[in-house]
Amino acid sequence: MASAHFVTRSGRERKKWLKLSLVMVCGSLLLLSSVLSMGPDNDKCPAEELLEKSLETAVPKLPQILYADAGYDAHWVHAKCREQWVIKPVIHRQDGLIGGEYRSEMTKENLKKKGYGKRWLIESFFSGFKRIMGSTLSSRTFENLRKEAALRLDGLLHPL
Q: Per-domain residue ranges for the chain?
A: 4-157
Specify the pLDDT at position 65: 84
146 or 100: which leads in pLDDT: 146
Split at pLDDT 50, 70, 90, the class of 152 is confident
Q: What tens digit of pLDDT does each residue of 21-41 get?
A: 888 887 777 778 888 888 777
d(CA 52, CA 85) in angstroms, rounded, equals 9
Specify the pLDDT at position 95: 65
- Class of the CATH domain delimited by 4-157: alpha beta
Q: Is 85 exposed, middle or buried (0-12, 13-18, 19+ CB in 10 A)?
A: middle
Q: What is the mean pLDDT of the chain?
A: 79
CA atoms within 13 A on the CB side of 76: 6
Please check the confidence at residue 94 and state whether its pLDDT lies above 80.
Answer: no
CB distance 78 to 103 below 8 Å: yes
CB distance 66 to 33 below 8 Å: no
What pTM, to 2 d.p., does this model score?
A: 0.72
